[in-house]
Amino acid sequence: MDKLVISGSPHVHQNTSIPKLMYMVVIAMIPAMLVSFYMFGLGALRVFLIAVLSCYLFEYLIQRYLIKGPITINDGSALITGILLAFNVPSSIPWWMMVVGALVAIGMGKMSFGGLGKNPFNPALVGRVFMLISFPVEMTRWPKPIVSREYFSFAGVDDKVLDTVTGPTPLGVLQEKGVEGLSQTSNYADLMLGQMGGSMGEISAIALVIGGLYLLFRRVISWHIPVAYLGSSFALAAILWFANPTQYADPFFHLVTGGLILGVFYMATDYVSSPISAKGQIIFGVGAGVLTILIRVFGSYPEGVSFAILLMNAATPLINNRFKPKRFGHKPAKAA
């Protein structure tokens, strides 16, 4: 017999680890990835590869040469950031913009704060918003699903065919033409399946929901943020719609278009940048939902999910401080 091991209790541990959790998230994203391959063809695969590889590369380089700490690229977080970043861009994005976006996401969004676990913002969203502001034209040039498949290759889009293969997103139509403009576009079944223009990962609500349910089922995420986020955005959109159906789109439209579902299940629930307690998570979800609809309806951008989540990320430390979990044996503090 060798030496006995001495350690504090507990002596049994749940069979879990960061990579395991991360890979479960990756599994959950597979349906949406398949949909994007189907809709956008090889161009989508190209963007995925560039995004993931450059995220890995930058994480490795920064850890190796700048931080000079342990190298943790195997924990799966770079993979998730890469996929999410790719989900958030149109498939026609030039390759070098994708690389720059990955650098910002990993370098500025994550590593500058000390790496995984310390970043206040969701790295993929940091990268996405950076790209949206820096390259507004390329980032809002949305390829049409299916039609655009054959026009893409690893080289990117040919400018000559641009007008035939790209078109606006439903939210863009809403922004420009108002509710009347919408009736010309597709029906709800198409929207749910992903028959619309948009970022690669956001188009198919159904695929995203399947993955989201998997995450909930495997207890990777808790229900608080998704439910609060969906509920509040739906409620606010419904109020506006009831007030004036000719001016505002109906709430179902808001749910299935744009990046809402993607944001709800995969980005707002990011462990690091969302609140800890159940109460805090509900506040976070409600805040993000309200902000999303406000930006969509009253803001100058057609889509507000990324901004809403980033804003709530910024509020997370405050929420964590204010909304503690329910303590056992302490009466909830009441105003005397």
* Residue ranges in contact with another protein by CB under 8 A: 1-14, 16-18, 20-21, 72, 75, 115-118, 222, 271-272, 276-277, 324-331
Minimum separation from the CB atom of position 229 to another protein (A): 17
Closest CA to 310 of 120, 134, 97: 120
CA 325 vs CA 65, 246, 280: distances in Å: 40, 43, 8
Residue 315: which H helix or E strand, with range? helix 305-322
Minimum separation from the CB atom of position 276 to another protein (A): 4
- CB nearer to another protein: pick between 65 and 329: 329
**Could you give phi then psi for residue 224, rounded to 5 degrees?**
-60, -50
- CB nearer to another protein: pick between 20 and 186: 20
- CB nearer to another protein: pick between 163 and 329: 329
How many Cα atoms occupy the beta-carbon half-sphere of 299 within 13 Å? 16
The Cα–Cα gap between 214 and 30 comes to: 11
- CB nearer to another protein: pick between 59 and 75: 75
Minimum separation from the CB atom of position 331 to another protein (A): 8
The Cα–Cα gap between 108 and 181 comes to: 39
Minimum separation from the CB atom of position 154 to another protein (A): 34
Contact 35, 196 (CB under 8 A): no
Minimum separation from the CB atom of position 115 to another protein (A): 7
- CB nearer to another protein: pick between 14 and 300: 14
What is the radius of gyration, based on Cα positions, of the chain? 21
